[in-house]
Amino acid sequence: MLIANENATHKAYPNVLQQILSIEKAAESRSWLSQWDGINPGATPLVKLPALATALGVGELWVKDESARSELGSFKALGAPIALVRLILRVFPEQRFEANSLLSGEYRQALADFTVISATDGNHGRGLAAAAKSIGCRCVIVLHANVSIEREEAIAAYGAEIVRIAGNYDESVEKAASIAVENEWTVVSDTSYEGYEEIPRDVMQGYGTIAAEIVEQTPQAGPNESAFTHVFLQGGVGGLAAGIASYFWEVYGAQRPAFIMVEPQQADCLYQSALSGDAAKSEGSVDSVMAGLACGETSPLAWKFLKESVDHFMTIEDGAAVDAMRILASGKNQDIPLVAGESAVAGLAGLIQILKSPILAADVSIDANSRILLISTEGATAPSVYAELVGETAEVVLHRQKAWHSRDVA
């Protein structure tokens, strides 16, 4: 399903939003992250897929590959560390901590009894656990029933204490909040709710790093015009999309690219938000193979940015995501093979669905001249799940990718 957002506008980035998320703050976050050994140095790859673009009938197709961000394997390595650093700076102003020194563990002894907690589908919890380990504070992660043991073990490897519940993601969020109150701990979540916006804001600000790199990696198409006509964004609670859309909006203003939001059919909280005009809940089961997007409630803070910046909202079936994973892994017709996890491929799956229908393609103004940007948000963060869905391991795909690079160099 696809709908146009009747509230979408193409105008200058509103000052009221700039007070929340800005290029200036994103640059500060990026500077701090560059000093953290939890992420790899330099920008993640922005790769062009000319063969797939030709097959789909679009002008250009680009993919920002966040699987290479760090050993965590996803974009979540950018949000949780920044939120945790900013939280500690607010809580302990008298200590005069330095942000870079926090991430290097210099204040480990002073923060040994400071505890943070969060619910997660996997990647956010892993990012928070990694940051907490570097800083030296305690971390507790609440996991719902659909989070795999494989993802649990990956989080626990960073020293986090795991709490399991029988419910879904939204119930794990509620559980984390109640545990935090009982123990006087602090929730570090990537979704907002009434009275809780500072930390989700900081998480989203960390995601601005992705957009900043993309702007630097691509030439402008014209004065204040993006190199891309369309950007496909994954759903979830909306935090990643808000972090990226706000950055592009501030840079390009009224000339910003068109944004298309893609979600699982059964976790369509942003689609429902577009229908109602306010942050809403999903009408589905919220159980999707796209685990990182299996969220039932829109982040109200994220919605402040998305309600006017996203031009279209759409939903896809799980099978479409699996097909997209296989397409990127194959590297058909000389394109670079890419390891993209279940939640990473929503944008490509959405694009393919649109292009199957000339009517839908016309509705979103995608044609042979369109320049499309996709954000591949994760690699094989659950290796066994990836292998089962794609039919080969991530290692095999990476070997093929290495061979592609070797051929390119030769």
pLDDT of residue 286: 86
Check whether 295 has a pLDDT greater than 90. no
Backbone angles phi, psi at 43, to 5 degrees: -80, 150
Contact 376, 74 (CB under 8 A): no
CA nearest neighbour of 340 among 47, 54, 127, 50? 47
Q: Is 313 exposed, middle or buried (0-12, 13-18, 19+ CB in 10 A)?
A: buried
Residues in the chain: 410
CA distance 408 to 115: 48
pLDDT of residue 410: 46
Angle at the Cα of 126 from the Cα atoms of 239 and 271, rounded to 5 degrees:
25
Question: Largest Cα–Cα distance in the chain?
Answer: 61
What average pLDDT does the chain have? Answer: 94
pLDDT digits (tens, 9 = 90+) for 38-81: 999 999 999 999 999 999 999 999 999 999 999 888 898 999 99
Q: Is residue 252 within a helix (H) or strand (E), and if so which, with residue range? A: helix 239-252
pLDDT digits (tens, 9 = 90+) for 212-253: 999 999 987 767 789 999 999 999 999 999 999 999 999 999
pLDDT of residue 184: 95
Tell me which of 196 and 407 has the higher pLDDT.
Answer: 196
Mean pLDDT computed over 390-394 = 97
Between the two ends of the chain, the Cα-to-Cα distance in Å is 45
Q: How confident is the model at residue 371 (pLDDT cuts 50, 70, 90)?
A: very high
Annotated catalytic residue: which of 121, 202, 311, 335? 121
Q: How confident is the model at residue 409 (pLDDT cuts 50, 70, 90)?
A: low
Q: Is 356 a residue of the active site?
A: no
Question: What domains lie within the chain, and their CATH numbers?
Answer: 2-74+198-409 (3.40.50.1100), 76-187 (3.40.50.1100)
Sign of the CA dihedral with 244 first, then 378, 350, and 230 last: positive
Contact 395, 254 (CB under 8 A): no
Check whether 120 has a pLDDT greater than 90. no
pLDDT digits (tens, 9 = 90+) for 393-404: 999 999 999 999
pLDDT digits (tens, 9 = 90+) for 246-283: 999 999 999 999 999 999 999 999 999 999 999 999 99
Mean pLDDT computed over 303-328 = 98
CA distance 309 to 18: 13
Annotated catalytic residue: which of 25, 64, 65, 76? 76
Q: Is 121 a residue of the active site?
A: yes
Mean pLDDT computed over 127-142 = 96
Q: How confident is the model at residue 292 (pLDDT cuts 50, 70, 90)?
A: confident
CA distances from 28 to 224, 282, 322 (A): 23, 34, 37
Mean pLDDT computed over 115-121 = 92
Beta sheet of 186-187, edge-to-edge order: 161-164, 138-143, 115-120, 186-187
pLDDT digits (tens, 9 = 90+) for 341-355: 999 999 999 999 999
Amino acid residing at 284? G
- Both tokens of residue 196? 């809780």
Q: Is 6 exposed, middle or buried (0-12, 13-18, 19+ CB in 10 A)?
A: exposed
Check whether 408 has a pLDDT greater than 60. no
Give the predicted TM-score (pTM) of the model: 0.93
Residue for token digits 């990226």?
Answer: 244
Q: What is the DSSP annotation of 13-49?
A: PPHHHHTTS-HHHHHHHHHHHTT-TTS-SSPPPEEE-
pLDDT digits (tens, 9 = 90+) for 145-198: 888 888 899 899 999 999 999 988 778 989 999 999 999 999 998 888 888 999
Instruction: Report the percent of the chain where pLDDT is more than 90.
Output: 84
- Strand 115-120 relative to strand 60-65, pairing: unpaired
CA distances from 161 to 137, 175, 390, 395 (A): 12, 14, 31, 29
- Both tokens of residue 276? 């109602």
